[in-house]
Amino acid sequence: MQTALSYLVAARHQEIHELEQLNRTCELVRAVSELVHRLQNERGVSNVYLASGGQHDAARFDARITSSELTKADVLKWLEGIQPGEGLAGGSRLFTRIAIALNALEALPHIRENIRKRDGSPLKSSERYTRVIGSLLSLVFEAADVSVEPKVARLLVALFNLMQAKEYAGQERATGARAFAIGQVCAGDLKSLTDLIDLQEQCFARFETFCSQSVLSQWQALQATMPLADIERMRRKLMAANMQLDSALSETWFETCSQRMDDIHLVETHLTTGLQQACQLRIAQTQSELEDQQALLTDLSNARSMAPSCVLVSELAQAQGQPELLAGHAMGSRLTGAIFDTLQTQTRHLQAVSEELISVRAALDERKHIERAKGVLMAHQSLSEEEAYRLLRQKAMNQNLRLVDVAQSVLSIAEFLPKRS
């Protein structure tokens, strides 16, 4: 007859297997983080190249492509090491995101060819890169959403928000560079800059909420060395209505924003390293628990009396109030007490894990609601993504509500909204 302890040992084996899958997923996230950074750099240089009519940064653009391709090759090599039958944390959901990201990456040669031909504006070029980068960021989001280990899930949420903040910073860099280059900021770019700055702050706040204390300390120390004051001064110039901009500041703005993004990437790298360390530590802890439980199971198999250990998990709660049920047997109170304590400890662990994962996923659910609400507004009111976000944001400010509350309100009435013609 299988005992409760036998199933606990099986549970430990399964937990180790899931953690090993999660560790592999974190390896993928680390490679994707590096690729996103390389593509952001490539996108930025392509803007300068196009804005100059091909007169500036041609060599640097080619160098950025080479760097991106090397990093992409690392991601593809890692994926080749995963056999179709092998699992990753997140299963089908994560594999679907990987497929979408790979499909998006196939557009890069066409994007680059158009840039070399100077076919299209810097804005259109940026939008194409942004779609590729967005598919990679969604992969990181999915990894955070399906994580079953609370500490790792928290770090993944922190990483996603930091990467998303840096992506908004990259879009701000491109928008500001274009405005300085032409000597003025148009109304649409002015609204975009306002939104991008706001979105960065939101993501940085969520990153600080979920990152570890060591990462937070590094982040705070690094901020003191970032060129934030210089960026803020140039932001004020960009935000000044009807102000003629000094085109010579375009390169200064670009380089200053790039320095900040490189600094942010240092923290990303530290976070991805911490992710794998957290996985490996949890695997070691679970392995130790497994060895302890296997030792108990061996003692149990050698015992002359099996009665106390045959209490099923469903009956264990009754035994808690009946200590006489666990006494007077051949193995004595030491073995039966150890088994009982093991079951109780695991019950408390599962409860704590469940509660912490609920709190972590609440932050991810907020983003899902906001993204879905934007989609509803885009579909029903013929809005762009930026316009949909701006409408949600304005409604939240006017009614003194959280953005997610407004998003949920939109979703609740989505079926009643008029269809666009």
Q: State residue 389's pLDDT score.
A: 83
> Using CA atoms, how far apart are residues 311 and 5, in angstroms rounded to an integer?
9
Q: State residue 414's pLDDT score.
A: 74
Q: State residue 333's pLDDT score.
A: 52
Q: State residue 307's pLDDT score.
A: 45
Q: State residue 342's pLDDT score.
A: 66
The CA–CA distances, whole Å, from 308 to 15, 200, 334, 340 equal 26, 58, 12, 9
Range list of β-strands (E), 89-240? none
Q: State residue 421's pLDDT score.
A: 54
> Using CA atoms, how far apart are residues 368 and 381, in angstroms rounded to an integer?
20
> Using CA atoms, how far apart are residues 135 and 138, in angstroms rounded to an integer?
5
Give me Rg for the CA atoms of the chain.
27
Three-class SS state of 265: helix
Contact at 8 Å (CB) between 89 and 18? Answer: yes
Residues 6+ apart with CB under 8 A from 345: none
Q: State residue 362's pLDDT score.
A: 80
- For the chain, residues with pLDDT lower than 70 are 1-5, 83-87, 89, 241, 296-297, 299-343, 346, 349-350, 353, 416-421
Residue ranges, comma separated, of all CATH 1.10.10.10 domains in the chain are: 303-416
Residues 6+ apart with CB under 8 A from 127: none
Residues 245-287 have pLDDT tens digits of 888 888 899 999 999 999 999 999 999 998 888 888 888 888 8
> Using CA atoms, how far apart are residues 235 and 196, in angstroms rounded to an integer?
12
Residues 385-398 have pLDDT tens digits of 878 888 888 888 88
CATH code of 303-416, in short, is 1.10.10.10
Contact at 8 Å (CB) between 271 and 264? Answer: no
Q: CA 176: distance to chain centroid?
A: 26
Extract the tokens encoding 239: 């935000």
Residues 6+ apart with CB under 8 A from 151: 278, 282
DSSP string across 144-157: HHH--SHHHHHHHH
Contact at 8 Å (CB) between 3 and 133? Answer: no
Interior/surface letters 212-247, b for 16+ CB within 10 angstroms, e for the rest:
beebbebbeeeeeebbeebbeebbebbeeeeeebee
Residues 6+ apart with CB under 8 A from 23: 276, 279, 280, 283
First to last CA, the chain: 67
Q: State residue 233's pLDDT score.
A: 94
- 3-state secondary structure string across 74-88: HHHHHHHCCCCCCCC
Residues 6+ apart with CB under 8 A from 316: 4, 340, 343
What is the helix (H) or strand (E) element at residue 363, kind and residue range?
helix 332-381
Instruction: Write the Ramachandran bin of 419: left for phi over 0, alpha for psi from -120 to 50, otherwise beta.
Output: beta
Q: Is the dihedral of CA 235, 237, 241, 247 positive or negative?
A: negative
> Using CA atoms, how far apart are residues 371 and 365, in angstroms rounded to an integer?
10
